[in-house]
């Protein structure tokens, strides 16, 4: 299938061509036709499946079709995302896909001064991408009004609930026009997610790709069993031995992320940690360095990793095994994305064995054990 067959308009096709996308991903194939027909969507898809384009492209197209002459700029599309990284990423996508359409967008999130965000909103925007807390804050100050919203997207709804945004979300939703199109995306369809979805969607079409219990088949998965204290040396060995110079490394805690980055720097490997205790500037710098490849290893906690969007990630390393098996699936979803192959390597200590077993059970698959290594 091609993007043309999805009946996308020329300005979007040109932008997609520039991005080098050859064909729509499964979530795009399944969602775009329904969204263009005005349907609500319940989309079960995780990051890495192309879900951002799956909602951004048809929204831009609908906004273009519904343009009225001499209309004042007001917020017609609202996208709620759980983290600033994800919000920023979505905003970059809107910019790229919409570059030939002339719409304006703004992105707002907490943890930084509201000044520049308010200035950009006051100039008039068509699309607003926001994290719930800052949005609510600016709504309460009377700076943002949502009365003209026609398209509402809730992205990574599962993560929003995990992060405790439910009340903020409900307050925002209460201010939206009842007549609107709502697109709801979540990596899981757990009961609490379904309950929330049922309260805000009207006759939704359900689409699903990569259910959370089946990991992307293109991702090669291996594990090294190793003592906890030997992990830094083993990590260095793995990076050198396999010539890996662009990799996302996961830890369970912020402190762990800092420690790993420091250990790697001690081995003369360029690494940075990214997590919630770092300032926004710091995080953006680390992310930019990683994208520019001046930093080879980005060490992240699970929450910080959500929404980090980097093209062609060939490797992810689980330096620590996550307690929640689903987190493993999210982590390795960062590689082998959009049809490319990838590799996920896990370092598992004796204490982590129960978590590891939980993962194998969830993904219904034995992960290959690398037996021969200097620290076994």
Candidate ranges 4-12, 24-32, 127-135, 146-154; the one touching ligand AMP (CB under 6 A): 24-32
CA atoms of 14 and 10, how far apart (whole Å): 6
Shortest distance (Å) from residue 312 CB to ligand AMP: 8
- In the bound state with ligand AMP, the residue whose beta carbon lies nearer, of 252 and 337, is 337
Residue from 337, 342, 352, 363 in contact with ligand AMP (CB under 6 A): 337
Question: Binding to ligand AMP by residue 231, rule CB under 6 A?
Answer: no
Question: Binding to ligand AMP by residue 309, rule CB under 6 A?
Answer: yes
Question: Binding to ligand AMP by residue 52, rule CB under 6 A?
Answer: yes
Residue from 40, 44, 51, 91 in contact with ligand AMP (CB under 6 A): 51
Candidate ranges 41-49, 170-178, 183-191, 198-206; the one touching ligand AMP (CB under 6 A): 41-49
Residue from 29, 30, 31, 49 in contact with ligand AMP (CB under 6 A): 49
Residue from 101, 143, 218, 338 in contact with ligand AMP (CB under 6 A): 338
CA atoms of 333 and 283, how far apart (whole Å): 21
Candidate ranges 17-25, 210-218, 219-227, 323-331; the one touching ligand AMP (CB under 6 A): 17-25
CA atoms of 41 and 19, how far apart (whole Å): 25
Residue from 35, 43, 48, 329 in contact with ligand AMP (CB under 6 A): 48
Question: Binding to ligand AMP by residue 85, rule CB under 6 A?
Answer: no
Backbone angles phi, psi at 233, to 5 degrees: -65, -40
Question: Binding to ligand AMP by residue 30, rule CB under 6 A?
Answer: no
CB 68 within 8 A of CB 119: no
Candidate ranges 42-50, 191-199, 296-304, 354-362; the one touching ligand AMP (CB under 6 A): 42-50
Residue from 12, 29, 50, 328 in contact with ligand AMP (CB under 6 A): 50
Number of chain positions touching ligand AMP (CB under 6 A)? 15
CB 261 within 8 A of CB 275: no
- In the bound state with ligand AMP, the residue whose beta carbon lies nearer, of 166 and 303, is 303
Shortest distance (Å) from residue 57 CB to ligand AMP: 9
> Footprint of ligand AMP on this chain (CB under 6 A)?
21, 24-25, 28, 47-53, 309, 311, 337-338
């Amino acid at each position: 299938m091609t993007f043309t067959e999805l009946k996308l308009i020329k300005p979007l096709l040109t932008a997609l061509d520039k991005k080098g996308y050859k064909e729509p991903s499964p979530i795009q194939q399944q969602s775009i036709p329904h969204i263009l027909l005005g349907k609500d969507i319940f989309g079960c898809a995780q990051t890495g499946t192309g879900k951002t384009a799956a909602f951004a492209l048809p929204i831009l197209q609908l906004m273009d079709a519904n343009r009225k002459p001499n209309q004042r700029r007001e917020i017609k599309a609202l996208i709620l995302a759980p983290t600033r990284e994800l919000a920023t990423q979505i905003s970059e996508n809107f910019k790229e896909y919409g570059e030939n359409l002339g719409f304006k967008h703004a992105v707002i999130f907490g943890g930084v001064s509201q000044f520049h965000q308010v200035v950009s909103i006051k100039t008039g925007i068509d699309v607003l991408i926001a994290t719930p807390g800052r949005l609510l804050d600016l709504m309460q100050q009377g700076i943002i009004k949502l009365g003209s919203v026609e398209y509402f997207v809730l992205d990574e709804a599962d993560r929003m609930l995990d992060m405790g945004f439910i009340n903020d979300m409900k307050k925002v939703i209460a201010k939206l026009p009842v007549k609107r199109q709502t697109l709801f995306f979540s990596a899981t369809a757990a009961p609490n997610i379904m309950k929330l979805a049922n309260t805000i969607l009207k006759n939704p079409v359900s689409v699903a790709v990569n259910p959370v219990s089946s990991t992307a088949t293109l991702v090669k998965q291996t594990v090294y069993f190793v003592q906890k204290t030997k992990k830094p040396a083993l990590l260095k060995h793995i990076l050198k031995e396999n010539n890996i110079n662009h990799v996302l490394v996961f830890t369970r805690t912020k402190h762990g992320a800092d420690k790993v980055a420091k250990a790697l720097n001690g081995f003369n490997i360029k690494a940075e940690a990214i997590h919630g205790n770092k300032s926004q500037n710091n995080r953006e710098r680390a992310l930019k360095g990683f994208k520019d490849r001046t930093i080879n290893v980005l060490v992240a906690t699970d929450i910080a990793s959500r929404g980090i969007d980097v093209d062609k990630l060939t490797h992810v390393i689980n330096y620590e095994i996550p307690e929640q098996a689903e987190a493993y699936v999210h982590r390795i979803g960062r590689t082998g994305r959009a049809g490319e192959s990838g590799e996920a390597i896990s370092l598992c200590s004796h204490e982590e064995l129960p978590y590891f077993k939980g993962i194998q059970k969830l993904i219904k698959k034995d992960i290959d054990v690398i037996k021969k290594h200097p620290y076994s």
